[in-house]
Amino acid sequence: MKLRPAWNVTRHSVLMSLGFAACLMVSIVGVWVLANATMPQQVPSPAAPLHLALRVVEDGKVIEYSSNQSRNNTAFSLLLEAARDRHFEVAWENWTVPSESVLVTSIDGLEGGDGGRWWQYWVNDAYGTVGADHAQLHDGDVVEWRFTTYSP
Amino acid sequence: MAFHNILTLSSLRRHLDANGLRFSGRKLRLALVLIAIGVVGRIVFLSLRLANIETVMVASLLAGSLLGGLYVVIVPVSILLSTDVIIYLAKYPGFYPLQDVALLAMFVYSGFVLVSLVGMASRRHVVFKLKSVAILTAISIPATILYDVWTATGMWWTILGRPPSSLSLLQVYSAQVPFTFFHVLSSLIFVPLFGTIFIYYLGQPSALPSPTPASADEP
């Protein structure tokens, strides 16, 4: 039986390893590019000022806000605009993967998780199913933030 | 004949080893290391708010391919049980109703056990050589996609398909796409990394015996 020289086996192993590593790097870069291409994009600023309204419904208290000249056209940015105008605090978590997005954890001192209740938003009575900073608003939209449990 | 053959202690031991049923000390230690990797990775990346970047997938895959037997269930379930207690009770308590979370958990847990079974199916090809890393990396991609499709279906069935979300299955799958790409990315990074480490470690002279096919003619 003819044996391959030891240095041949070593060179073969190194080449195979380098080949695998190269394929792996190409795959990682390719998937990274695809992931970024499919990520939800940030909502662009509106071309013209919008007429928007926002309501924050919490325990026995409702905070109302409206604007005829708003440039904040997401449910989250409108909430921050209302917070500045009506002087209440908003806290949130920033998430990076799969896209830059936020999770609002506290409004006006009420922290999510209290009794299983969390801050959730509706736009024109339709439940928000994306991050609030990806929920694009249009002229005349009404946003409502409720401190409630996730239930029908 | 096979039943008579397992009556001696040594043949019983061989029978259990061949089917991955004996809790040998070395296998148990390796299982504990895989569980630790899964737990620490899941908590660390969640703390960094990097959804779908996790080490549970690689731990489940390696448990199936390198350990087999009951570890296919023990490793992923142990990781998930211990981290779910922390995540859902301490971090996000009560976000979804408990009964919905329990139903969703069935999909998540079975999904990772499924990944572990996929790993076990490749066990005959993982013979403690470096090229086995390539095999594990290759199968981790369809395993990750399969897991994501399965759990997205569960998420739709238990939570998102009902009010107040009321999303269609197609909408849920569409929303899942970027998550899945990052999940595949996570597998492409962690499977070769941990696979190389464990396969090198198990390839040492005192390594585990190679998986042998069960045979009725075994002495």
pLDDT of residue A73: 92
pLDDT at B91: 64
**Residue of chain B with shortest Cα separation from A150:** B96
Write the single-letter amino acid at B82: S
Adjacent-strand bridge partners of A145: A56, A121
pLDDT: which is higher, B22 or B181: B181
Q: Residues of chain A with pLDDT > 90: what percent?
A: 56
Nearest residue in A to B177, CA atom: A38
The tens-digit pLDDT sequence of chain A (152 residues) is 555 555 556 788 888 888 888 999 999 999 999 988 888 888 899 889 999 999 999 888 899 999 999 999 999 999 999 999 999 999 998 887 666 789 999 999 999 887 788 999 999 999 998 889 999 999 999 999 999 888 76
Token representation of residue A116:
């299983």
Contact A151 B97 (CB under 8 A): yes
Residue B120 to chain A, least CA–CA distance (Å) = 23
Query: Which of A31, A38, A118 is the closest to B185 by Cβ?
Result: A31
pLDDT in the model for residue A133: 93
The DSSP string of chain A is -PPPPHHHHHHHHHHHHHHHHHHHHHHHHHHHHHHHHHSPPPPPPPSS-EEEEEEEEETTEEEEEEEEEE---BHHHHHHHHHHHHT--EEEEEE-BSSSEEEEEEETTEETTBTTBEEEEEETTEEP-S-GGG-B--TT-EEEEEEE-S--
Residues of B engaging A, defined by a Cβ cutoff of 8 Å: 48-53, 92-97, 130-131, 133-134, 137, 159-160, 162-167, 175, 177-179, 181-182, 184-185, 188-189, 192
Q: CA-to-CA distance for B73 and B55, rounded, in angstroms?
A: 16
CA distance, residue A35 to nearest chain B CA (Å): 5
Phi, psi of B205 (to 5 degrees): -50, -35
What residue of A is the nearest CA neighbor of B50?
A: A97
Contact with chain B for residue A33, Cβ under 8 A:
no
Q: Considering all CA atoms of chain A, what is the largest pairwise distance in Å, rounded to the nearest integer?
A: 88
Residues of chain A neighbouring B188 (CB-CB closer than 8 A) = 24, 27-28, 31
Q: What is the pLDDT of residue A51?
A: 92
* Predicted local confidence at residue B11, as pLDDT: 62
Is residue B151 within 8 A of residue B108, CB to CB? The reply is: yes
Peptide bond into A98 cis (omega under 30): yes
Residues in B touching A38 (Cβ below 8 Å) = 177-178, 181
Q: What is the ipTM of this complex?
A: 0.78
pLDDT digits (tens, 9 = 90+) for B179-218: 999 999 999 999 999 988 888 777 665 444 444 444 333 3
pLDDT, mean of residues B34-57:
89
| Lowest mean per-residue pLDDT among B56-70, B84-98, B159-173 | B84-98
pLDDT at B18: 58
Are B56 and B75 a contacting pair, CB within 8 Å?
A: no
Q: What is the mean pLDDT of chain B?
A: 81
Q: Which of B50, B136, B176, B185 to mutate to test the interface with A (most CBs of A within 10 A)?
A: B185
pLDDT of B72 higher than 70: yes
Res. B15: pLDDT tops 90 = no
Predicted pLDDT at B214: 42
Please write the tens of the pLDDT for every residue from B132-161.
888 899 999 999 999 999 999 999 999 899
Nearest by CB to A35, which of B137, B175, B185?
Answer: B185
> Residue B210: its pLDDT value, please?
47
CB contact under 8 Å between B49 and A150, yes or no, is: no
A104: β partners: A92
Q: What is the pLDDT of residues B100-134, one digit of tens each?
A: 888 999 999 999 999 999 999 887 665 557 678 88
